[in-house]
Structures are given as structure tokens and as C-alpha cells.
Homo-oligomer: A and B are copies of this chain.
Amino acid sequence: MSVLPAAGVISLARGIPSPDMFPAQLLADCARRAVERHGRVALNYGPPLGFEPLREWIAERHGTTADRVALTPGSLIALNFIVRERFAGGGRAIVEAPTYDRMLRALAEAGAGVVTVDRTDAGLDLDRLQALLREGERPRLLYVLPTFHNPTGRTLTREQRVALVDFAIEHELLIYEDDPYRDVRIEGEHEPYLHALLYERGAEELALFTSSFSKTVAPGLRVGYALLPPQLAAPIEAMATHTYVSPPLLAQAQLLEFLEGGHLGPHLRHLGGFLGARRDALLRVLEDQLEGVATWTRPDGGYFLWLELPASLDATELNARAAAAGVAFVPGAGFFAGERGAGTARLAFSYPSVEEIDEGARRLATLVREAR
């Protein structure tokens, strides 16, 4: 069950960074300095919500206070804590269709009910959301991936964000904003965070946020984080204590050295160029080979784009043939709660080289055209 692709196969499947994306020499220096400067604290057990100076750095960046910041060994474990806490006594979640597949699994494991609302280029279907609430739906949260959405690569516009926040405040709906790709931007300008808009309106208790440094710096550090609304801080702290005592403080101190050294901004600009070349290589082949045959998204950042295949084509069957042709992707059906998405696929451009992407996309496009 490794997340690394099998040898010989070009993987457009897993959303993991290329090793060429890591700022390794800087991190080597930061690792040493973290031990020297913070070792007496960071080598020990410590606060279950993580290394205080990094909590403060993150709080300042997000306009909140350190007591709301929970550092976890990757953001997936924060997601799991949140789901366990919110759905301990049952209840239902509203998620986007499609949405992050690990969230669907976490909800299923917690025994939560799931209701879906479509997420398209037009944003989240607020009419459907409105109808659900009118029918008496009382969800324990709405899970949204606003930026470079996994799996589609789509991003909510500023207007769509404001409308969603208005809606959440009107209906006292807890917004769980999961946004790990936001800073991995190839072009364009940042849109405001949903939680920032909620904070501005004084609706802190409706704002729940997770992100991570796995997509921006390095997953092997395992530094994810949550910004918790006041009512969730104590229960999540107790879960962290009972699950692992305290998270890996040393890696958190190492990351802080990187951040305080001013390295994040330049590194993100470098990543934008790096991923831009890969996205463009993928888009070039799609435009060249599949124009008029399939449709796809054109993300301004992140790791993924979303392919909608010709109506007759089943992505799971296509994936089996693709494996034989030496290319892998993720069929889209797994990102839907129900029986949907048979003709969709997630293509990741973060791991292979430009040349591999070009070759892999050509193999895939050939299969699509043959299968029509």
C-alpha cells in the first residue's frame, strides 16, 4: 500500500510531490539549527497541540491566536480527530461532489451520514444547499476544498466565497475549509480564505480550517495544522494527548527555522514555476490530442486537473488498460459519495518530470481516442 508509483509506470495518479521540489539543503541547515536552538524543548514531550513558537507563527499568519492552532503529524490526522469529535453521536455531513476521498472514508468509519452538493466551475450549488436546509437537514459541518480542489483543481472565486460565507452565517452552518494546496499557486492572485471572511464577520465559531506544509515544503516533516473554533479546542487537545502524547516537535522546530529564515516565499515562487511547467506539459497534450473528445479543468495551481471522458468511457476500465500501457491515474468515482463519476479521472502533474508527463499523457490520450 505504498503511495509511491510502481517502477516503470508513469504516475499521473498520486498527489505527492516530486523529490526535486524539496528545498533539501535549506532544510538540512534548518534541521541542525532547530536542534541547537530549540533542542531542550523540541526533543522532549511537550504540548499535545504542538511546538508553541510555530503555533504562534501560524496564528499570526491567519489572524487568530495560538490557542486555536493545533499542529498534527500531517493534516489527515487532524481531519480524523475533527470527524471523530463532530460525529461521535451520529449526525450528517454535507460534502462537495466530488470531494477528497479520504474524507469520505473518515466519515464512513465514523458512521456519519453524507449529503452531497455539486461543485462545478460555477462553484458550490448554493440553491441545492438552501433546499436541503429548508427540508430540515441539520448538518454538523459543510466540508469544502476552496482552492485547487482535490480532485478537480477548481478554485472558488471571491464572489463565490463571500456568498458561501453569507449563507453559512445566515444558517449557522459550520464550514470546514480544507485548503492544503492554496499556496501552491502557478499564476493568478490569492482569494480570501473562508475562515478569514468568517473571522471578519465575527463568526469564529463557524470557522474550521485545516492545512499543511506537506504540499508547500515537505510531507516527510509531517506538519499539518488545524485552526479550531473555540468549542473544538479542548476536545481535540484531549484526543491528541490520548493518541500520541505530543506530535513531532523537532520537525515543527525545523520548519519554524525555515519559515523564520524567510525561505517560504521564494520557495513558493520556485514551486509555482516548477509545477507550471508540468501543468502546461499536461495541458498541451490534452489540447493537442483530446480537443473535442474530452473536457478538463485548467487549474491555476495545486497538483491536479480533472478530466471528463466521452460518455461511453468508463474510467476504471480505462485505468486498467492504461496500466498495461504504462501510465496510471485515479478514476474519479472514488471521489463521489454515491454511484457517480464513472466517466471522470483525476490527473496529477506533481510527481513525474515534464518529459514523463508528456509521454504519459500521450499514452493516455491514445487510449481515450481508441476507445471512443
Copies in the complex: 2
Is A238 positioned at the interface, with any CB of B under 8 Å from its CB?
yes
Stretch from A27-35, A189-197, A290-298, A326-334 forming part of the interface with B: A27-35
- A34–B24 Cα gap in the complex (Å)? 10
Contact A35 B24, beta carbon cutoff 8 Å: yes
Q: Which residue of chain B has the shortest Cβ distance to A35 in the bound complex?
A: B28
Q: Report if A278 contacts B (CB, 8 A).
A: no
Taken residue by residue from 231 to 270, chain A's Cβ proximity to chain B (1 for < 8 Å, 0 otherwise) reads as: 0000001100111111111110010000000000000000
**CB pair B31 A73 closer than 8 Å:** no
Which of B31, B48, B214, B246 makes the CB contact (< 8 A) with A31? B31
Q: Which of B16, B32, B243 contacts A44 (CB 8 A)?
A: B16
Would you call B46 and A17 a contact (CB within 8 A)?
no
> What separation, in Å, do the CA atoms of A249 and B47 have in the docked complex?
21
The answer to whether B218 and A44 touch across the interface, beta carbons within 8 angstroms, is yes
A contacts with B: majority SS: helix
Q: Given A32-B32, A40-B24, are A46 and B2 also a contact pair (CB < 8 Å)?
A: yes
* A40 contacts across to B, CB distance below 8 A: 19, 22, 24
Q: Are B3 and A19 in contact (CB under 8 A)?
A: no
- Whole-angstrom CA separation of A74 from B3 in the bound complex: 22
Q: Is A133 an interface residue (CB 8 A)?
A: no
Stretch at the interface among A134-142, A146-154, A156-164, A219-227: A219-227
Q: Kindly identify, within residues 77 to 109 of chain A, every residue whose CB is under 8 Å from any CB belonging to chain B.
A: 77, 80, 102, 105-106, 109
A76 in the interface (beta carbon within 8 A): yes
> Is residue A167 contacting chain B, with contact meaning CB distance below 8 A?
no
Cβ of A42 < 8 Å from any Cβ of B? yes
The answer, yes or no, to whether A6 is at the interface (CB within 8 Å) is: no
* Residues of B contacting A34 in the complex (Cβ-Cβ under 8 angstroms): 31
Tell me whether A36 and B24 are in contact (CB under 8 A). Answer: yes
CB < 8 Å neighbour of A243 from B24, B76, B250? B76
Residue of A32, A47, A245 with most chain B CB atoms under a 10 A cut-off: A245
CA distance in complex: A73, B73 (Å): 8
CB atoms of B46 and A35 under 8 A apart? no
Judge whether B4 and A238 touch: CB under 8 Å: no
Closest B residue to A252 by beta carbon equals B220
Complex formed: what's the CA distance from A45 to B219 in Å?
Answer: 6
Chain B's nearest CB lies how many Å from the CB of A97?
21
Contacts of A74 in B (CB 8 A): 244-246
> CB-nearest residue of chain B relative to A2?
B47
A324 CB within 8 Å of chain B: no
Considering the chains assembled together, what is the distance between the CA atoms of A221 and B47 in angstroms? 14
Q: A73-B244, A247-B73 are in contact. Are A220 and B44 (CB under 8 A)?
A: yes
A1 at the interface (CB under 8 A from B): yes
A371 at the interface (CB under 8 A from B): no
| Beta-carbon contact of B218 and A250 below 8 Å | yes
- 6 nearest CB pairs, A to B: A31-B31, A28-B35, A19-B40, A43-B218, A43-B220, A222-B248
- List 12 A–B pairs whose Cβ atoms lie within 8 Å, in order of A's numbering: A2-B47, A14-B45, A19-B41, A24-B39, A24-B43, A27-B35, A31-B35, A45-B214, A76-B245, A218-B250, A222-B246, A250-B251
* Inter-chain pairs besides A25-B36, A44-B220, 12 sampled, C-beta below 8 Å: A19-B43, A24-B36, A24-B40, A25-B35, A27-B35, A45-B220, A73-B73, A73-B248, A105-B242, A109-B242, A219-B246, A222-B244
